[in-house]
Amino acid sequence: MNGDIPTGWAEATIGDLIDAAGVFTDGDWVESKDQDPTGEVRLIQLADVGDGQFRNRSNRSLTLEKAGQLNCTLLAPGDVLIARMPDPLGRACLYPGENRPAATVVDVCIVRPSSNVHPRWLMYFINSPQFRERLKPFESGSTRKRISRKNLAKIRISVPPVAEQRRIVAALEEQLSRLDAAVEAVELSRTRSRQLWASILNQMTEGTLSRSVRRPVTWERTGEVAVVQGGIQKQARRRPVDNKFPFLRVANVPRGSLALDDVHEVELFEGELERYRLQSGDLLVVEGNGSPDQIGRAATWRGEIKDCVHQNHLIRVRPGVRLRAEFLELAWNSPKVAQQLKEVASSTSGLHTLSTAKVKSIQIPVPSLEEQDALLDAVQQWRNKQLTAEVAQRAALARAAVLRRSLLADAFGGRLVPQNPADEPASALLDRIRAEREAAGVIKSRRRSPRQAPAQRERTSQTAPTPAAPPPPADVRALATAVQPTLDMEIPS
């Protein structure tokens, strides 16, 4: 070891790893009006950038012509993509390439290092605990953290020799492939556990979970066996001042449980507390959600907070004398009832919302109270087994996360693979990259700010040289080179 880094390693920045043909730049400021669902160029989103893997979640596009007008940087297979926003901040993956050109949004930084730098080594280093720790002083933003490309360029990187980069990548991928297989097995177990729970709830609604239940079970409209009521609309006059009370929101009601770590307050007026106060056993139903699978999710209030009310986006279902509160919650969150909720909540506008009238119309099973008790006992036995499995699954995933961090920390602390004195030192690599840049006469390129106003962008495009006509879309690397600037960075002297 030499100081804090192993022998043969060298301290550098991302910019030091970029040669004359490289790229280190933000993605592009592509507005909604610039996009075209039939376009030839895919627009990579922040959600596509995973922690070590390309997630491939988005489906945005723009035309090749528009990409040229905006002077977009087109991606090449093997480019390192760095997310400049959470979560986690600074996560990185490799762009795998596809059968059409691609650009990326401005909150993703593009790094195309020298061909002498292993891109997978760089990606793993950026995802390592060492890099994440060095990134923290450069974070900005109070509500949602972010990091600028300028600050990314300041973070120091411990660079091993090229041969050792290859050994590190090989060792990491051997170990991580085993770890990923184990994580995949745990996730499969979690999926099966959720499927089993859904089956148990359906069997409960059908009455087949207990032999003491007469079948078929009677189903009735919710409005016939429970009192359904809306909540309080939050307005400026509701700012809590003199007569404030706890106030539940949609965020407080996940499916089957309550999240009460962040409960707001609201101003109530005469008679409203008696009208809207929650009682133990009330079922709180989420009125609207962007996801059809989450519409109508519900949880039971058990009197956790005194004199608590709820907003109008939560619908209160107060069970009558023919319903157990616990049975109502389980039945309501069952797949059979969830399907009804999805159907009544859909609309021609594409929004998914419920109303008190729609909630009243939902059919729910109403066996006798004795039969409800028998079914609840049977469900609880299964629930205990499922909870035990969930605890083990969460513990296994937590251990996997710790092991992953440990592997990356060892790899980039010089402890995962041995150093070889015969390896060319990293300083020689950095000198060679610097010499290549100087020989090519690379200077700081003039590139529009991605956050320029449209009018500024138009003026810039009028004075900028017209990019060369791109080759056919199939040759993505050649196309990327044809329309992008050479480099968006200051070369260290």
For domain 10-161+420-483, give the CATH number: 3.90.220.20
Flag residues of the chain having pLDDT under 70. 1-3, 289-290, 347-350, 442-493
pLDDT at 454: 45
Round to whole Å and give the CA distance between 119 and 2.
Answer: 25
pLDDT at 135: 96
The number of CA neighbours under 13 Å toward the Cβ of 241 is 5
Cα 84 to Cα 148, 157, 387: the distances in Å are 7, 17, 37
Round to whole Å and give the CA distance between 73 and 87.
Answer: 24
Report yes or no: 58 and 45 within 8 Å, Cβ to Cβ. Answer: yes
For domain 221-366, give the CATH number: 3.90.220.20
- Close Cβ partners of 273 (under 8 Å, ≥ 6 residues apart): 245, 307, 309
Nearest one of 318, 330, 317 to 375, comparing CA atoms: 330
DSSP for 193-248, written as a single string: HHHHHHHHHHHHHHTTT-TTS-SSPPEEEHHHHEEEE--BPP-GGG--SSSEEEEE
